[in-house]
Amino acid sequence: MRIGMNRRLFLGTLSLAAMAALALAPRPAAAGGSRELRLKVNLVSSGVDSNAKGVAEFRASATVSRFKVAVQNLTTGSYDVLVAGVFQASLTVGTTGRGEVHFRTNPEPGENAMPLTFDPRGQLVEVAQGATMFLSVVFPNPPAPAATGTTGASGTMSTRIEILADLVATGALPGANGDARFRSRSGRNSFRVEIEDVPDGVYGLRVAGADVATIEVALGQGEVEFDTQPQQGKLPLTFDPRGQLVEVLSNGATILQVVFPQQ
């Protein structure tokens, strides 16, 4: 049953006020490496318009956070975007049935974005007209395990998480570069490490002190990818890199490393 608007506004204001000072502040990069967090989740139709679809996406780096709500297959008109019961913006749906609204910390002049003054993580996100709710989802909040698929009134909620981190050169091999990426969607996880600007050859990959793979480099670039449902060219993902030290080694010496962020 839908909560009364006044009560929801009050509760949402309390919740967001408690988070405001810390939640939106970008978390420092681990071991000196920059990183970006991406959270993306499908909005679930309430059944009022069974064809309605939508997605909410949150992205955060060391310097800026962004949040977007996009919808499709809705009737032309103006809709409210609410987070934790609090009205945040109007979303206009055109004749194509599509519409979206963007938020950003400290929007630049002329940018088509509203100030991001709230944190959607762990909060109820809704698209509504007055008291009629069309789409909603409880936005994910890592490092809780990714959803394995939760069926709503119409459709299935699919949670997508992506964490990117730059590998930091130790100086053992000048000019070396690389990055690591973790993805999770509906219970399926993948992890990829890519290196470049290094001599051709074979490099070791170590996670949490354990040797997990080798990376073959050709023309100065190489990568290895793990997956919990591996297909051709991928290795089984039997470990969780989040919060762990990731190292790339050449002849036993660490050339690139990062403490991979948990979120």
Q: What is the 3-state secondary structure (H, E, C) of 176-198?
A: CEEEEEEEEECCEEEEEEEEECC
CB 199 within 8 Å of CB 217: yes
| Residue whose pair of structure tokens reads 């997956």 in the numeric block | 227
Return the pLDDT at 144: 41
β-strand partners of 231:
none
- Give residue 209's region: left, alpha or beta (phi > 0; psi -120 to 50): left
Q: Which CATH class is domain 167-259?
A: mainly beta
Q: Which CATH class is domain 5-161?
A: mainly beta
Q: How far is CA 3 from the centre of its chain?
A: 28
9-28 pLDDT tens trace: 433 433 443 344 334 544 43
207: enclosing H helix or E strand: strand 201-207
CA distance 35 to 43: 26
70: enclosing H helix or E strand: strand 65-72
The token pair at 219 is 């023309």
Q: Quick check: helix, strand or coil at residue 199?
A: coil
Whether 5-161 and 167-259 share one fold: the answer is: yes
* Higher-confidence position of 247 and 186: 247
Mean pLDDT of 29-38: 59
Domain extents for the chain?
A: 5-161, 167-259
CA distance 207 to 246: 5
Selection from 2, 19, 260 nearest residue 121 by Cα:
19
β-strand partners of 81:
89, 127
pLDDT bucket at 159, cuts 50 / 70 / 90: low
Mean pLDDT of 25-37: 52
Q: What is the pTM (predicted TM-score) of this model?
A: 0.60
Q: In this prediction, what percent of the chain has a pLDDT beyond 90?
A: 57
Return the pLDDT at 172: 96
Selection from 92, 95, 2, 97 nearest residue 47 by Cα:
2
Selection from 220, 222, 202 nearest residue 211 by Cα:
202
CA distance 82 to 251: 54
Determine whether 71 is exposed, middle or buried from the number of CB atoms within 10 Å of its CB (0-12, 13-18, 19+): buried
Return the pLDDT at 132: 97
